[in-house]
Chain A
Amino acid sequence: MEDIKVDKKLNIKGLHCPYTFVKSKLAVEDMEIGEVIEILLDSEEASRNIPKSMEDHGQRVLKVEKMNDTDWIIQVRKDKE
Chain B
Amino acid sequence: MEFTEDQLQRYSRHIILPEVGGKGQKKILRAKVLIIGAGGLGCPVGYYLTAAGVGTLGIIDNDTVELSNLQRQIAHNTQRIGVPKVESAKATFEALNPDVKVIGIRERMTKDNIMDFMRDYDIVVDGSDNFPTRYLVNDACVLLKKPLVSGAILKFEGQVTTIMPGEGHCYRCLFEEMPPAGLVPSCQEAGVIGAIPGVVGSLQAIEVFKLILGKGDVLKNTLLIYDALKTTFRRVRVPKNPDCPVCGEHPTITELQDYDADYCRI
From the candidates B3, B9, B13, B18, name the one contacting A26 in the complex (CB within 8 A): B3
Q: What's the Cα separation between A68 and B8 when bound, in Å?
A: 29
Q: What's the Cα separation between A37 and B23 when bound, in Å?
A: 19
Interface size on B, residues (CB 8 A): 11
Whether A29 and B23, one on each chain, are in contact in the complex, defined by CB atoms closer than 8 angstroms, is: yes
Residues of chain A lying within 8 A (CB to CB) of residue B193: none
- Secondary structure dominating the interface of A: helix
Residues of chain A lying within 8 A (CB to CB) of residue B15: 22, 25-26
Residues of chain B lying within 8 A (CB to CB) of residue A18: 12-13, 16
Task: Fill in one digit per residue for A19-42: 1 if any B CB lies within 8 Å of its CB, else 0.
Answer: 101110110010000000000000
Task: Fill in one digit per residue for B21-46: 1 if any A CB lies within 8 Å of its CB, else 0.
Answer: 11100000000000000000000000
Distance between A33 CB and nearest chain B CB, rounded to angstroms: 15
Whether A53 and B8, one on each chain, are in contact in the complex, defined by CB atoms closer than 8 angstroms, is: no
Whether B12 and A26, one on each chain, are in contact in the complex, defined by CB atoms closer than 8 angstroms, is: no
- Measured as residues with beta carbon below 8 angstroms from the partner, the interface class of chain A is 10 to 19
Q: What's the Cα separation between A23 and B15 when bound, in Å?
A: 9
Interface residues of B (CB under 8 A from A): 3, 8-9, 12-13, 15-16, 18, 21-23
Please list the 6 inter-chain residue pairs (A to B) with the smallest Cβ-Cβ separation, ordered nearest first: A26-B22, A22-B12, A29-B22, A22-B15, A57-B18, A18-B12
A-B contact pairs, 15 of them (CB 8 A): A18-B12, A18-B16, A19-B8, A19-B12, A22-B8, A22-B16, A23-B8, A26-B3, A26-B8, A26-B15, A26-B21, A29-B21, A29-B22, A56-B18, A58-B18
